[in-house]
Structure 1
Amino acid sequence: MTDACGHGEALTTATHMRVAVVYHAWPHYREPVMRAMDCSRSIAYDFYGSGEALEGVLHADPHAVSRFVPAPFRRWRNLVWQPGAVRAAMTGRYQALILFADPNFASTWVAAAIARLRGRPVLFWGHGWLKPEGRAKRAMRSAYFALSHRLLVYAERGRRLGVAAGFAPERITVVYNSLDVERADALVAAIEDGSLAACPQALFPDTSHPLLICTARLTAKCRFDLLLQAAARLSAQDRPVNVLLIGDGPERGRLEALAQALGVSAHFLGACHDEAIVGPMIYHADLTVSPGKIGLTAMHSLMYGTPAITHGDFDAQMPEVEAIEAGVTGAFFCRDDADDLAATIAQWLAQAPPRAQVRAAARAAIHAKWTPQVQARIIEQAVLEVAGHA
């Protein structure tokens, strides 16, 4: 019998390690990396998670992987307790644990300590360091991360900040982040061979205006008010644009009212998880503009070949911002400055490299580092190293 990875019966005999990967919840967009990890010939992963949607974000399908262990969690103020993490550490079933790297997860402190006492390798997986921190917070974070034998972080900057904070460089591995790149590749191929048609500009009265897009939950942190203000400034300069926001959230009503008050040509599509709809819209957009933290929106944009603009205050950014190369696959503006955002958009639209060149560079950047397969390979190597099997 052949499994979804094409391994056949040989997978069972080839696998020689069993590892628990404990997250409080696996967002739907993590399903591709779960599947990629599940294809390992060296490690059999058990994925622990709640199986429930979290803060409006759908959970990955538990049936997408061979072994999913339901592990609900509880919140008390800023603290999280997940009994399944402790149970995973106490059982003799696993040769290593990968735990979600958030110091607010009290159960992770306990699980990591138990695993270490039992002689089991512990890996933490998360953002790591996002910015330089004060002495007290730095000491707390260092004590927490010291419970791990290896820290898996999303980006090179996180590793540099960790080393600067005194963490041993050999204990930090950059694993990057990803979305469903294979699905995006298939959709891009369908768009370019003409079998998948889409025209998001048709949502607007004037289809000739450049299309600015963003796919994200509509929250205050995303600062889409800045995008609408920038669009209004561009219109006042006789450089009108269309704005398409894909997503829902608590700020939607306020943003719709602001767009109307400013006279901005904006369309609010709402939440959409159908990549066959969202992907072509991103592909045909002129720019992705994410005025707040960009995060995985950078991946979503670049894997369809669309350049991205976000703010350049990296201490207030997410790790995935590293995928954007200024002047090549996007640009940066001064944080919280609508005038500079408008100027940055205008400059890109007027002076950007040829669209085909930008598309190729953006997609190449994703394929080089930011894919589920790259993540799975690096994670597997890190696990084997700390377990002494490399």
Structure 2
Amino acid sequence: MTGAASHEASAETPLRVAVIYHVWPHYREAVMQAMDRSKAIAYDFYGSGEPLEGILHADTAAVDRFIKAPFRRLGNFLWQPQAVKAAGGGHYDALIMLADPNFVSTWVAAVLARWRRTPVLFWGHGWLKPENRLKQRVRRLYFGLSHQFLVYAERGKRLGTAVGFPPERITVVYNSLAVERADAVIALIESGMTNAERPQAFFADPGRPLLICTARLTARCRFDVLLKAAVLLEERGQAVNVLLVGEGPERAELERMAAEHALEVLFFGACHDEELVGPLLYHADLTVSPGKIGLTAMHSLMYGTPAITHGDFDAQMPEVEVIEEGLTGAFFRRDDATSLADAIASWLATAPPRANVRHHARAAIKAKWAPQVQAAIIERAVLEVTGRA
């Protein structure tokens, strides 16, 4: 058995494992709670407890053991003293750390943990696209500090294996949002027990197809491409309504574009209340995320709503894998408004029945992209790396 504290642990005693993030975004709360329910592992969750760059922090009281671990930035780099302390204290059977090469403290903590023979698991995107040799070497050196790498998607494992990282040291853990909460909201919607208004009612012509996106209004999300596509659709005689749920630095420019072209666009603002956002997604015809889609893909499919995004996977986020083209969504040429307009028009004209889309979308989420699934895979990886499997 490995690990500094392993000599004290028996097969009946839960392992002690530190999970170290700089911050735990609010959307990680469901997987934190799923992990916290483990009978085999007692997790300590490390994090700052503070919001970051407009993203709310998870409720630190949502799990049994949350340890405040502030950090400071040094230019592009980050230093988190508690990460090093956790690695050197000898109290843990394993460490799980967010895999970001800019976190200097993670390099130090991983080296220290390995010196103490404490298994290290990295958790992160891993490999998103093919890279030049210098970046490959840095990643190989950094990722090689882990005994096991927990990546978000199958493509990440394929890319990692292609550059020589041992496939047996890469575990795909997917990603997750609060699926059970979404299920409860859907039950209210379908039983008619929610007071939430159908979002179509927000617009002057509620009969138009409704396109939605729940994401921060940033340049990387390329909502300007969506508005250009909306102009093209209107010129073709297929006007749409657009509902953007989120805030961000691009809002003023997007509002200007919408006004200039007399588009029907509602800027809903930021909203983290699932009982408000859920019905918006559920009743929309399509989620359209012209830039990277990430968690938005999962959020949309949780409510049975198909998603359209670009198909340049080197510039995508891992969660794009949840979309099955023609069944739960579609892809268009990156940064091409005409291609996006074509994809939207084609989906609206030829999409499978909405009931079929809902079934397949929600089944895809529950098969891989749910908190309990993610927590179970992580637990199995920890048990294997500590010799408890």
Q: Report whether the alignment pairs 1:131 with 2:129.
A: yes
Specify the alignment match of 1:10 in structure 2.
Answer: none
For residue 171 of structure 1, what is the amino acid of its counterpart? R
1:92 Cα shift?
1.5
Alignment of 1:354-369 (within 5 A): 354-369=353-368
1:16 Cα shift?
2.0
For residue 289 of structure 1, what is the amino acid of its counterpart? V
Specify the alignment match of 2:317 in structure 1.
Answer: 318
For residue 151 of structure 1, what is the amino acid of its counterpart? F
Q: Find the partner of 2:41 among 8, 26, 43.
A: 43
SS of 1:309 mapped into structure 2: strand
* Cα deviation 1:240-286 (Å, max 9, x = unaligned): 10000000011111101111111110000000111000001000000
- Dislocated runs of 4+, deviation >6 Å: none
Specify the alignment match of 2:227 in structure 1.
Answer: 228
Q: Find the partner of 1:69 among 57, 67, 70.
A: 67
1:76 Cα shift?
1.4
Supply the distance in 2 between the matched residues of 1:14 and 1:64 (Cα, whole angstroms).
25
Specify the alignment match of 1:59 in structure 2.
Answer: 57
* Cα deviation 1:196-221 (Å, max 9, x = unaligned): 24310111000000000000000000
Specify the alignment match of 1:188 in structure 2.
Answer: 186
Specify the alignment match of 1:148 in structure 2.
Answer: 146
1:87 Cα shift?
0.5
SS of 2:149 mapped into structure 1: strand
Specify the alignment match of 1:162 in structure 2.
Answer: 160
1:190 Cα shift?
1.2
SS of 1:147 mapped into structure 2: coil
For residue 239 of structure 1, what is the amino acid of its counterpart? Q
Supply the distance in 2 between the matched residues of 1:165 and 1:386 (Cα, whole angstroms).
23
Specify the alignment match of 1:81 in structure 2.
Answer: 79
Supply the distance in 1 between the matched residues of 2:239 and 2:378 (Cα, whole angstroms).
46
Taking structure 2 as the reference length, the TM-score comes to 0.96
Supply the distance in 1 between the matched residues of 2:73 and 2:298 (Cα, whole angstroms).
30
Specify the alignment match of 1:4 in structure 2.
Answer: none
1:179 Cα shift?
0.3
Alignment of 1:167-316 (within 5 A): 167-197=165-195, 198-316=197-315
1:77 Cα shift?
1.5
SS of 1:280 mapped into structure 2: helix
SS of 2:150 mapped into structure 1: strand
Supply the distance in 2 between the matched residues of 1:379 and 1:117 (Cα, whole angstroms).
23
SS of 1:80 mapped into structure 2: strand
For residue 384 of structure 2, what is the amino acid of its counterpart? E
Q: 1:239 to 1:147 in 2, by over 3 A?
A: same
* Cα deviation 1:279-337 (Å, max 9, x = unaligned): 01000000000000000000100000000000000000000000000000000000000
SS of 1:325 mapped into structure 2: coil
Supply the distance in 1 between the matched residues of 2:64 and 2:135 (Cα, whole angstroms).
39
Supply the distance in 2 between the matched residues of 1:234 and 1:350 (Cα, whole angstroms).
13
SS of 1:332 mapped into structure 2: strand
For residue 111 of structure 2, what is the amino acid of its counterpart? A
Supply the distance in 2 between the matched residues of 1:16 and 1:39 (Cα, whole angstroms).
12
Specify the alignment match of 1:351 in structure 2.
Answer: 350
1:14 Cα shift?
5.2
Supply the distance in 2 between the matched residues of 1:313 and 1:147 (Cα, whole angstroms).
30
Specify the alignment match of 1:93 in structure 2.
Answer: 91
Deviates further, 29-38 or 68-77: 68-77
For residue 138 of structure 1, what is the amino acid of its counterpart? Q
Work out whether residues 190 and 196 of structure 1, in 8 Å CA contact, stay in contact via their aligned partners in 2.
yes
Specify the alignment match of 2:113 in structure 1.
Answer: 115
Supply the distance in 2 between the matched residues of 1:276 and 1:318 (Cα, whole angstroms).
26
Q: Percent identity?
A: 70
* Cα deviation 1:56-88 (Å, max 9, x = unaligned): 000000000000000011111211111111010
Supply the distance in 2 between the matched residues of 1:151 and 1:290 (Cα, whole angstroms).
29
Supply the distance in 1 between the matched residues of 2:286 and 2:262 (Cα, whole angstroms).
20
Specify the alignment match of 1:18 in structure 2.
Answer: 16
Work out whether residues 15 and 44 of structure 1, in 8 Å CA contact, stay in contact via their aligned partners in 2.
no
Taking structure 1 as the reference length, the TM-score comes to 0.96
Q: Aligned Cα RMSD in Å?
A: 1.1
Supply the distance in 2 between the matched residues of 1:199 and 1:304 (Cα, whole angstroms).
14
Specify the alignment match of 1:6 in structure 2.
Answer: none
1:15 Cα shift?
4.3
Work out whether residues 89 and 112 of structure 1, in 8 Å CA contact, stay in contact via their aligned partners in 2.
yes
For residue 143 of structure 2, what is the amino acid of its counterpart? F
Specify the alignment match of 2:7 in structure 1.
Answer: none
SS of 1:270 mapped into structure 2: coil
Q: Report whether the alignment pairs 1:32 with 2:30.
A: yes
Q: Find the partner of 1:106 among 81, 104, 126.
A: 104
Specify the alignment match of 1:9 in structure 2.
Answer: none
Q: Give the length in aligned residue pairs.
A: 379
